[in-house]
Amino acid sequence: MIKVILWDIDGTLLDFKEAERHAIKKCFKLFGLGECSEEMLARYSRINRSYWDRLERGELTKAEVLVGRFREFFTLEGLAADQAEAVNTEYQQQLGETICFRDQSYELVAKLKGQVKQYAVTNGSYIAQKKKLKLSGLGELFDGVFISDEVGFEKPNPRFFDYIWERIGRYNEREVLIVGDSLTSDMQGGRAAGIRCCWYNPDGLPLPDGVLIEKEIRNLWEIEDLLKREPL
């Protein structure tokens, strides 16, 4: 029986792409960088994803990701790269301003409250995530929040999950379910921790060869069905 759900935030409970679009466009306006077109936004998004992938592989530190992505993006677009650090600082604030729930996730988490323990597990920056959780109201629903900046390790590092077990207690591995959109940080991290893994794949992306997952869902409310029947 599932007793604990570890929820990813960005791209799972909340629409990260929409928040990203708002934050980038607002920063361009505040710093007088001109218009950020959809094509430029797409290029930034690809660069940003590549930096987070390198973080998950242990190739970069969080600080190198947050500033480095903007340096590379600005250089590519012919903008002043020396503004990268200042833009990133503002970006963290703006990133938490746009709250867009995936699949009415607030109602789902609220409905499951009391039925199972629910925790947020995120690699996002402390500033952005704290703001999102407060403005969205999700922070008040969770039994706890684990942000990599506070933990000291990022998913999929097993030490991220060891930190969680030290604070919530040990459960049987079949009693814990992680739900997230990332095959690397969420699913790989869950597998390394020995817990049950549920891939949130709303766009129906093909599963890469060699990647093993336990369960795939297209809508977050499918979690209700998972809680009613065993095994996954």
Q: Give the tens place of pLDDT for each residue, 168-205.
A: 998 999 999 999 999 999 999 999 999 999 999 999 99
Residues acting as catalytic residues: 8
Instruction: Say if residue 185 is in the same domain as residue 146.
Output: yes
What would the mean pLDDT of 24-43 be, rounded to a whole number? 95
The overall average pLDDT reported for the chain is 94
Instruction: Say if residue 125 is in the same domain as residue 69.
Output: no
Instruction: Say if residue 135 is in the same domain as residue 82.
Output: no
Measured over the CA atoms of residue 221, residue 226, residue 227 and residue 229, the dihedral's sign is positive
Picking from 46, 63, 95, the residue at the C-terminal end of a domain is 95
What is the pLDDT at residue 211? 83
pLDDT-based confidence at residue 122 (cuts at 50, 70, 90)? very high
Residue 84 CA to its chain's centroid (Å):
22
**What is the domain extent for residue 121?**
4-15+102-228
Instruction: Say if residue 9 is in the same domain as residue 47.
Output: no
Instruction: Say if residue 125 is in the same domain as residue 178.
Output: yes
46-72: burial string, b at 16+ Cβ within 10 Å, e else: ebbeebbeebbeeebebeebbbbbbbb
Instruction: Say if residue 185 is in the same domain as residue 114.
Output: yes
CATH, residue 158: 3.40.50.1000
CATH, residue 34: 1.10.150
Q: Residue 183: how many CA atoms within 13 Å on its side-chain side? A: 11
Instruction: Say if residue 159 is in the same domain as residue 140.
Output: yes
Instruction: Say if residue 70 is in the same domain as residue 174.
Output: no
Instruction: Say if residue 161 is in the same domain as residue 134.
Output: yes
What is the pLDDT at residue 192? 93
What would the mean pLDDT of 134-156 be, rounded to a whole number? 96
What is the pLDDT at residue 230? 60
Picking from 61, 95, 129, the residue at the C-terminal end of a domain is 95
pLDDT digits (tens, 9 = 90+) for 38-91: 999 999 999 999 999 999 888 999 999 999 999 999 999 999 999 999 999 999
Q: Is the pLDDT of residue 232 over 80?
A: no
Picking from 95, 113, 143, the residue at the C-terminal end of a domain is 95
Number of domains present in the structure of the chain = 2
